[in-house]
Amino acid sequence: MPKLFSYGTLQQKNVQLANFGRELTGYQDILPGYVVGEIAITEPRVLRESGKAIHPILRFTGNISDEVAGTVFELTDAELLQADDYEVDAYIRVSACLKSGADCWIYAAAAPNSR
């Protein structure tokens, strides 16, 4: 099963239920080499499901002292595609290695200059 590292709204129970039809269980881990910025959300569905107009967004720094805490969830392949559908175009799904050594998917800034 694919692993997804979540640091934002995909950790919210209401977002999980709306997108996957179930509450996810996961474990804590840390993503090195990234910092968290912010992005304004205008997509009505995402605004409705998250209840938030500002979402966090990962920015790659490459500096291993930069770290982001989050939760690792195991999803089915179909659920991973549903997560792709939830994320707006400002995000891109890329693979990453967590501090624990686990390989996973993350949603990071599609453009390097995202705040």
What is the Cβ-side half-sphere exposure of residue 76, based on CA atoms within 13 angstroms?
7
Q: Which domains does the chain have, with CATH numbers?
A: 3-109 (3.10.490.10)
pLDDT digits 0-9 by tens, 102-112: 999 999 999 86
Q: What is the pTM of this model?
A: 0.91
| Cβ atoms of residues 41 and 50 within 8 Å | yes
Give the pLDDT band of residue 89 (cuts 50, 70, 90). very high
User: If we measure between CA atoms, which residue out of 4, 1, 15 comes closest to residue 77?
Assistant: 1
